[in-house]
Amino acid sequence: MIIVRLIGGLGNQLFQYAAARQLSKIHQTGLKIDISGFKEYKNHRYSLTHFSIIEDYISKEETFGIEEIKAKYFHFDPEFREIPDNIILTGYWQTEKYFIGISEIIRDEFTVKYPLKDKDLEISRLIKDSNSVSMHIRRCDYLPGTFKDQIFDCLSPDYYINAVKRLSEEESNLVFFIFSDDPEWSKDNIKLEYPCIFVEHNTADTNYEDLRLMSLCKHSIIANSSFGWWGAWLNKNQNKKVYAPKRWFNSNVRNLDPKDIIPSAWIKI
């Protein structure tokens, strides 16, 4: 049995589950999830219940005595496949290299359980009927002074404008769907000569709906965020263009190597 201890935001939880799911396939064994950490962790809540995952819970008490294996690096660990059965997996595991062998399983299990409705259904139709581009802008918890050990910086408007310019050289009739935790800043600072639709009706409780809408777009421009990463990765368009920042962390970070987080087919700016 593989047990995965989930923590963090939705994007983090998806990476953790995906890596554990790969290990469960390698060992042809069961997968259980430990969400006990969310009792004390107040920044985010457990969110995978909205997806078609293997949702077999295990309590923290039931995990006593089981060996815990933590991610050794931020970049890919080539010894990952040697991790034995009957362990607890912890850490972030933020690269598709940990689950690329079961990518179709992951895409299926990361399908939202419920049909689209109301505003989400309306926006999904606009997305499907246009040469749609998802733009993810993350700011609020990346602003200076938000955390004592701040490791991310907000991306500048220039990053987004440059990505739009690059994409517009290859694609026409673009329509941008902008997802942000700071929509007012985005409206004031991201000025595009294209139709823009700001998707701002969902809340932290329905962030999975934003993720689904992002994945329906034909192309993606992401922030340095695991949430935006999954919105782009789950995009099934075979001809998609994904733009991602070359610089994932800020200069405070010296012991985390992000070399494996961006898939090779994506375009770094």
Question: What pLDDT score was predicted for residue 145?
Answer: 73
Question: What pLDDT score was predicted for residue 141?
Answer: 85
- Structure confidence at residue 225 as a pLDDT band (50, 70, 90): very high
- List, for residues 57-66, the tens digit of each pLDDT value: 999 899 999 9
Question: What pLDDT score was predicted for residue 229?
Answer: 98
3-state secondary structure the chain: CEEEECCCCHHHHHHHHHHHHHHHHHCCCCEEEECHHHHCCCCCCCCHHHECCCCCECCCHHHCCCCEEECCCCCCCCCHHHCCCCEEEECCCCCHHHCHHHHHHHHHHCCECCCCCHHHHHHHHHHHCCEEEEEEECCHHHCCCCCCCCCCCCCCHHHHHHHHHHHHCCCCCEEEEEEECCHHHHHHHCCCCCCEEEECCCCHHHHHHHHHHHHHCCEEECCCCHHHHHHHHCCCCCCCCEEECCCCCCCCCCCCCCCCCCCCCCEEC
Averaged confidence pLDDT in the chain? 95
Rounded mean pLDDT of 184-201?
96
> Structure pTM?
0.96
Question: What pLDDT score was predicted for residue 148?
Answer: 62
CATH number of the structural domain 118-268: 3.40.50
Q: Domain spans of the chain? A: 2-109, 118-268
